[in-house]
Structure 1
Amino acid sequence: MVRLKNRYLLLDILYPDSTTWPTTTVSSGPQAAQLAIHAPTSDALTPGLLAKMIREEVGEMYGDWGVGKLGGASAMGVQVKYLSPATSTAIIRCPRAAFRLVWSALTYMSHVPAVTEPGAGVGQRRPNGGRERPCVFRVLRVSGTMRKAEEEAIRRARREIVRVRGVEEKGVLGDLISGAERGMSVGGSRTVVTGIMDESEDDGMFDDDDD
């Protein structure tokens, strides 16, 4: 029996356009901006819709040849195995021979369905550009198994949480330490603060778990 080998692309959806951010987010400093870039995605983006968008983009870029590499227009060559609108994270499965086509298609995809605003009517267009929201699809890791992609997604989610909390704690501790140093400057005392360094990040894009 021939074993069909696939590739799993872990990706996240980013929103770098500050004009789509809430006004309070723009004026709240770098921490809020970091959260806004990784903002949630509308529930209108379903796994089926995302897979369809990828297939259409591959067809537009590479024509019938690209669609054939995915297994044909009616085949399930591209499948969204995981999609979380809350974290704007997805895992795409595609044939191993065509994962670069899918990757390039994701690079050129620039819009997702916009978040429905409270009180907006059905089909009502948003002031910031209609029913679509500009975004960037960033491929984080290419793996040969679903398990490796899931582990990488969990690791990156934990790192983002630690990074955001670190910014909060650094701001609070900085104010407290500066106040303590000013209060003890008369007596000649000095406060020494040590920080915890984050472990270096592995920027490798490919896993060697499956040839």
Structure 2
Amino acid sequence: MVRVKHRYLLVEILYPEPASWAATKPPSKAGSTAQTQAQLRIHSPTSDALTPSVLARMLREEVDNMFGDWGVGRLGGVNAGGVSVKYLSPATSTAIVRCPRASFRLVWTALSYMSRVPEIGAPKGARGAVLSRPCVFRVVKVSGTMRRAEEEAIRRARRETLRLRGVDEQGILGGLVGELAGVDDVMDDDEDEDVGMESDD
């Protein structure tokens, strides 16, 4: 029996505001506060109107717009549900998207071209929700298992929380990270399980 293989894409939804892109200055007390505010604006929460089903539908429509029937067929057809959103957190603006392994680059490309989500205050789960809030979908990790994508999402959320609190990561995580720094990819025993960003799998 043949096992159907999938890829899991960890996606961050970012909200860059060009007005907040001031020239970077050396960090100071006031500069540190300004950097924290800019970081909070970029990583702001997403509207509850963006549900997993709405995001999956938006993704399939973008693949259809970009690649036509061929792209939809590569995803498994219109009703096959080849693309699904396994996790979506509006609070952290993070999602995990599952897609067929053979066509994860199509999904990645479609995510790169998607640029709008429903505005905060839009009706939740509305089929015709107006996509009015500009955003950037950034694929952070491509993995062969859901567990690896979840672990990366947790690691990134902890790092952002520590950064915003101003706590030195080395002091808290130094023991854990310091011990693992000398070990060469102990966790990546199965190369097919985890795909790096530059991999051709």
TM-score, structure 1 as length reference: 0.70
**Aligned residue in 1 for 2:110:** 105
How many angstroms does 1:18 deviate by?
A: 4.8
Any conservation in 1 of the 2:116–2:131 contact (CA below 8 Å)? no
State the Cα deviation string for residues 13-57 of structure 1 (Å, max 9, x = none).
00002569xxxxxxx511111011000000000000000011010
Between the aligned partners of 1:50 and 1:83, the Cα distance in structure 2 is 9
Any conservation in 2 of the 1:17–1:134 contact (CA below 8 Å)? no
**Aligned residue in 1 for 2:143:** 143
Between the aligned partners of 2:161 and 2:91, the Cα distance in structure 1 is 14
How many angstroms does 1:67 deviate by?
A: 0.3
Between the aligned partners of 1:148 and 1:16, the Cα distance in structure 2 is 27
**Residue 86 of structure 2: which of 76, 81, 88 is its match?**
81
**Aligned residue in 2 for 1:69:** 74
Any conservation in 1 of the 2:10–2:149 contact (CA below 8 Å)? yes
Cα gap change, 1:135 to 1:78, in 2 (>3 Å): same
Structure 1 residue identity aligned to 2:81: M
**Aligned residue in 2 for 1:157:** 157
- Residues paired across the two proteins, number: 164
Structure 1, unpaired ranges of 5+: 21-27, 124-129, 171-194
Between the aligned partners of 1:68 and 1:45, the Cα distance in structure 2 is 25
Q: Which runs of 4+ in 1 moved over 6 A?
A: 197-200
Structure 2 residue identity aligned to 1:52: R
Structure 2, unpaired ranges of 5+: 21-32, 182-187, 194-200
Between the aligned partners of 1:208 and 1:150, the Cα distance in structure 2 is 18
Structure 1 residue identity aligned to 2:11: L
**Aligned residue in 2 for 1:38:** 43
* Structure index of larger Rg: 1
Any conservation in 1 of the 2:11–2:137 contact (CA below 8 Å)? yes
Between the aligned partners of 2:191 and 2:133, the Cα distance in structure 1 is 35
Identity rate of aligned residues, in percent? 64
How many angstroms does 1:208 deviate by?
A: 3.0
**Aligned residue in 1 for 2:120:** 115
* Stretch deviating more after TM superposition (11-20 or 30-39): 11-20
State the Cα deviation string for residues 158-196 of structure 1 (Å, max 9, x = none).
011111112xx69xxxxxxxxxxxxxxxxxxxxxxxx85
- What's the Cα RMSD here? 2.9
State the Cα deviation string for residues 105-129 of structure 1 (Å, max 9, x = none).
0000000000018xx9xx9xxxxxx
**Aligned residue in 2 for 1:49:** 54
Any conservation in 2 of the 1:145–1:209 contact (CA below 8 Å)? no
